[in-house]
């Protein structure tokens, strides 16, 4: 299992790095375009539920692909692997990164927030948890992992970025090299953990040479 984890992290590092570069480009556009924080907040609360859908889809599909377990087990694994790790990737790590950089930044846990979602007028916790349910259902029905995982990585990077610009106040340009590092770490380990490593922990046997 340790060898598999190391292999998956190694294989996903280049794509994650390229995704982090797109995040830096977006941040430069936000800074020089003087994009208001309200737009960043609305974008974050759009990307984060989409991230949860794809995360739940891939986590559930990976589990069902190798071990067609009971429905309730797939639901628990899909929910924990999406809500828990998407929150870590999109909110907790960006917050900790901002705090380490002495940025004034707010702390948010989207899946328990009762405020209304921008544009929708629905409580955030309802939207986020419903996104997990949708992803679990899709992953249980169709065991697709490769394309959703790539989309999951990009959505996670962009969500992490918009968390920083939505809830943080800083002079961003001098911090871009460090922001790149935090974006990379916020996605590289959590996304591989959610989509691949976490569901495989509940599977006794899987192809030893097959990466995902």
Please give the angle made by the CA atoms of 176, 184 and 91, to the nearest 5 degrees. Answer: 90
146: pLDDT strictly greater than 70: no
Calpha distance 36→29 (Å, rounded):
12
Domain boundaries, the chain: 2-9+37-200
Find out whether 86 and 164 touch, Cβ atoms under 8 Å.
Answer: no
61: pLDDT strictly greater than 70: yes
pLDDT digits (tens, 9 = 90+) for 159-183: 999 999 999 988 899 999 999 988 8
- pTM over 0.85, yes/no: no
Q: Tokens for 94?
A: 């960006």
- What's the pLDDT at 185? 83
189: pLDDT strictly greater than 80: no
Average pLDDT, the chain: 82
Average pLDDT over residues 3-11: 67
Find the DSSP H helices in the chain. Answer: 2-32, 37-66, 71-79, 85-87, 93-100, 124-141, 146-167, 176-192, 198-200
Calpha distance 103→145 (Å, rounded):
36
C-alpha closest to that of 151 among 33, 57, 37, 41: 57
C-alpha closest to that of 13 among 191, 210, 170, 197: 191
Calpha distance 113→135 (Å, rounded):
20
């Amino acid at each position: 299992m340790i060898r598999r984890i190391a292999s998956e992290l190694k294989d996903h590092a280049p794509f994650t790095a390229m995704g982090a570069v797109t995040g830096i480009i977006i941040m430069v556009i936000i800074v020089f375009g003087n994009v208001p924080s309200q737009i960043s907040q609305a974008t974050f609360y759009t990307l984060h539920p989409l991230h949860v859908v794809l995360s739940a889809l891939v986590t559930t599909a990976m589990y069902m692909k190798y071990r067609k377990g009971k429905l309730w087990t797939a639901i628990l694994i899909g929910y924990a692997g999406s809500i828990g790790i998407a929150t870590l990737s999109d909110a907790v790590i960006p917050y900790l990164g901002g705090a380490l950089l002495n940025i004034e930044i707010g702390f948010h846990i989207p899946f328990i927030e009762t405020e209304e979602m921008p544009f929708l007028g629905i409580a955030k916790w309802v939207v986020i948890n419903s996104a997990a349910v949708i992803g679990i259902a899709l992953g249980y029905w169709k065991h697709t992992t490769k394309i959703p995982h790539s989309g999951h990585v990009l959505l996670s990077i962009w969500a992490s970025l918009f968390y920083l610009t939505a809830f943080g106040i800083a002079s961003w340009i001098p911090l871009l090299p460090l922001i790149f590092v935090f974006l990379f770490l916020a996605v590289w380990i959590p996304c591989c953990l959610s989509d691949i490593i976490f569901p495989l922990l509940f599977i006794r046997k899987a192809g030893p040479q097959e990466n995902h």
